[in-house]
């Protein structure tokens, strides 16, 4: 069984890839598993930039491959200066709590959306460092709305799921079943393959 350190303490992110990688013979470890947690200044201009910054910091602390991930959020019709981009949780220099995030993004929907919703797109970036080689992969999802009416359900680690609705399924992300998540529009098997293949060196 190969081991891969995912440079995160967010258990929801670990869970996102854990089972798929286990089937590929890869055990995904978190920073908590190794008692590591450094405050990394992620000052890149893209998801890939920030993922590489984080992976390079941890590369020198462990002797197993490192994976880091970041995401950018873009909202249709919102002025450039208010686009979250790489600062999804950090607004005006302040790191928002889950509930503060929900309130902030609802206010953007109210100000710039149409009929209580706004088309949104996530752009994800993964960086893997295996020995001296770096691998990167980026992908996006644009099949959802942010809405002004939050559900009461919360996904720990993913606060915006409470105001995100899948366009095709017309469901809040918090209401999506496991079957929904493995539907073609949610399938991330290519990401699992990329991660596993990066460890073959």
At residue 178, the pLDDT reads: 75
Of the pLDDT bands very low, low, confident and very high (cuts 50, 70, 90), residue 143 is confident
Q: Is 94 exposed, middle or buried (0-12, 13-18, 19+ CB in 10 A)?
A: exposed
Segment holding 122, helix H or strand E: strand 117-130
Choices 1.10.357.10, 3.90.950.10, 3.40.30.10, 3.40.50.720: CATH for 2-198? 3.90.950.10
Q: How far apart are CA 104 and CA 176, in angstroms?
A: 23
Predicted TM-score (pTM) of the model is 0.78
pLDDT higher than 50, residue 97:
yes
pLDDT higher than 50, residue 184:
no
pLDDT higher than 80, residue 197:
yes
Region 3-17: mean pLDDT is: 91
């Amino acid at each position: 069984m190969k081991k891969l350190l995912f440079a995160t303490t967010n258990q929801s992110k670990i869970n996102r890839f854990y089972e798929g990688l286990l089937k590929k013979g890869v055990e995904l470890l978190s920073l908590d598993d190794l008692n590591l947690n450094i405050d990394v200044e992620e000052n890149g201009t893209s998801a890939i930039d920030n993922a590489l910054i984080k992976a390079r910091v941890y590369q020198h602390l462990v002797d197993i491959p490192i994976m880091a991930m970041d995401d950018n959020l873009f909202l249709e019709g919102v002025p450039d200066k208010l686009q979250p981009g790489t600062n999804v949780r950090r607004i005006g220099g302040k790191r928002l709590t889950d509930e503060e995030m929900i309130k902030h993004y609802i206010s953007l929907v109210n100000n710039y959306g149409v009929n209580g919703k706004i088309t949104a797109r996530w752009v994800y970036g993964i960086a893997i460092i295996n020995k001296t080689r770096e691998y990167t992969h980026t992908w996006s999802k644009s099949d959802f709305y942010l809405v002004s009416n939050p559900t009461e359900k919360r996904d720990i680690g993913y606060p915006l799921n409470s105001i995100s609705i899948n366009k095709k399924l017309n469901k809040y992300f918090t209401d999506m079943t496991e079957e929904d998540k493995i539907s073609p529009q949610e399938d991330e098997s290519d990401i699992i393959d990329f991660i596993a293949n990066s460890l073959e060196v």
